[in-house]
Amino acid sequence: MRAIVHLAKKSGLVSLAEIAKQEHLSLAYLERIFALLKKANIVTSFKGTNGGYALARKAEQIKVSEIIQALEGSLYELKCGACHVGGCSVNRVWNRLYDQINKTLNSISLKSLIK
C-alpha cells in the first residue's frame, strides 16, 4: 500500500527503484506486486530510459478494495467452518462482517490516502 501511495503522490512516471529506495522496500518484491497491479489495471508501465510506472486511472477512481483484491485475492471473505448450513446464525455474523469490511474498503479511495 505504501508503494502505490508513493506512486499516487508523484506526477509523471516513477521507477520501481525510486519507490524501493524511498519506501525501504525490496525491488524484487515491488516488481512482483506491480505486475499484479498492472494486471488489475491499477497501474500502467512504460519501458525505456525514462520509463516507469504511473496510475492507470485517477487516484479518486481507485478504491483500496481493488488494491487489496489485486494483491491478496478475496482476503476478507469469511465462512463458517463448523457447519455447512448457509442460514445458521454464525454464518450470518460472518456475512455481516464481510459486508462491512467491503463497504469500508470500497469507500476509501487512493486519493484519500495521499492527503
Query: Whole domain around residue 108: which residue ranges?
Result: 2-113
DSSP 44: E
Cell of 77: 471473505
CA distance 32 to 3: 12
Q: What is the pLDDT of residue 71?
A: 93
Q: Which three cell numbers stand for residue 49?
A: 530510459
3-state secondary structure of 82: coil
Q: The domain spanning residue 50 has which CATH number?
A: 1.10.10.10
- Helix locations, 12-108, DSSP H: 16-23, 27-39, 64-72, 89-107
Grid cell, residue 14, equals 516513477
pLDDT at 90: 76
- Can you tell me the mean pLDDT for 5-9? 96
Q: Considering just the CA atoms, what is the radius of gyration of the chain in Å?
A: 17
Q: Are 25 and 19 in contact (CB under 8 A)?
A: yes
For residue 49, the model assigns a pLDDT of 86
24-82 confidence digits (pLDDT tens): 999 999 999 999 999 999 999 999 888 999 999 999 999 999 999 999 887 555 555 66
Provide the pLDDT for residue 42.
Answer: 97
pLDDT of residue 4: 96
pLDDT tens for residues 81-114? Answer: 666 555 677 777 878 888 899 899 999 999 999 9
> 512516471: which residue's cell?
13
Residue 14's nearest CA partner among 50, 39, 41 is 50
Whether the CB-CB separation of 52 and 15 falls below 8 Å is answered with yes
Domain count, the chain: 1
